[in-house]
Amino acid sequence: MQSLYPLKFQTIYKDKIWGGQKIKTYLHKDFGNLPNCGETWEISGVKSDVSVVADGPLKGNRLDSLLEEYKEDLVGKKVYDHFGDIFPLLIKFIDANEDLSIQVHPNDELAKKRHDSFGKTEMWYVVEADPGSTLIAGFNKELDEQEYLDKFNSGQLTDILNKEDVKSGDVFFLPAGRVHTIGKGLLIAEIQQTSDITYRIYDFDRVDDKGNKRELHVEEALAAIDYKHYPEYKTSYHPKENETVKLLSCPYFTTNLMDFTESTEKDYSGLDSFVIYVCLEGDYSIKSDGETYPVKMGDCVLLPKTIDKVQLETVSGFKILESYIE
């Protein structure tokens, strides 16, 4: 059996009605003949879009096939026992040239009942933000379902939504049930559960290139929405150079920020999980088992569980998101 190594995957490009050009102009990823690119799926176990290894001895292998073959060696015993042959995280970049729809995602229980799927808890890291960019996360007051419906039916839904001014480096945690949308001018790195279930609540009456409005899921969303009001929606953290800074931890993933101007070593021998690196800035090389794997901005790398120690070597410095399951 081929030994596992740090894995990169072929990027899956998705054009969207609201997508733009930053995937190409900022991240330098070529989406070919698509008119725009709203999302890239960098590491995916979603059945309709399973990632394929981009290079090395395992080039051309699908992520689900690797899981079936390598099992806990790829993802860790605890993770494999819980998720089996489904890779548990989906990693994306999102470029919003226009506001996305106002939407919500179901939790595990509702998603299992309705769709035989995982729910969708996610987080956003703002990679780049145009001046004046905003997003929506949660409500600006305590609500119940009836008050929500009254506002929705009277065309006043946006009056009760919490709008946030956004800049590069901002982090938002979006548990299943939180109404949200990414605003115009934002380039975001997203880490989420493996699920593609979205209930679209309002889409600003947009039409596609054929003049059709996109489907809404107003009724389905009612049971999924968390109507509570929370004092803070933006994740607070204190950036530090050359240290691993925890951004957030939930049952589905833990994500840290590594903003380094110098080379460093990481020891994962005490962690029963795979690790994912999302490169936000700069470049570096992963050294593992005598091999060197170059990484640049926009690259995402999956470190299998069997890799306990790596050296991250850099000249120019790097900023990465480090994610795993605790």
Six token digits for residue 108:
């595990």
The torsion angle over the Cα atoms of residues 225, 230, 232 and 233, rounded to 10 degrees, is 0
Q: Is 214 a catalytic residue?
A: no
Six token digits for residue 317:
């410095």
Six token digits for residue 48:
């309709």
- Ordered alpha helix ranges (H), 116-164: 145-153
d(CA 308, CA 317): 23
Residue type, 311: Q
d(CA 286, CA 323): 16
Residue 224's Cβ-side half-sphere holds a number of Cα atoms within 13 Å equal to 30
The torsion angle over the Cα atoms of residues 237, 136, 176 and 187, rounded to 10 degrees, is -70
Which long-range contacts link 28-33 to residues 24+ away (Cβ below 8 Å)? 28/297, 28/298, 29/93, 29/298
The active-site residue, picked from 114, 200, 206, 214, is 200
- Ordered alpha helix ranges (H), the chain: 22-25, 63-70, 72-75, 77-83, 108-115, 145-153, 218-222
Torsion angles phi and psi, residue 115, rounded to 5 = -130, 0
Kindly list the catalytic residues. 200
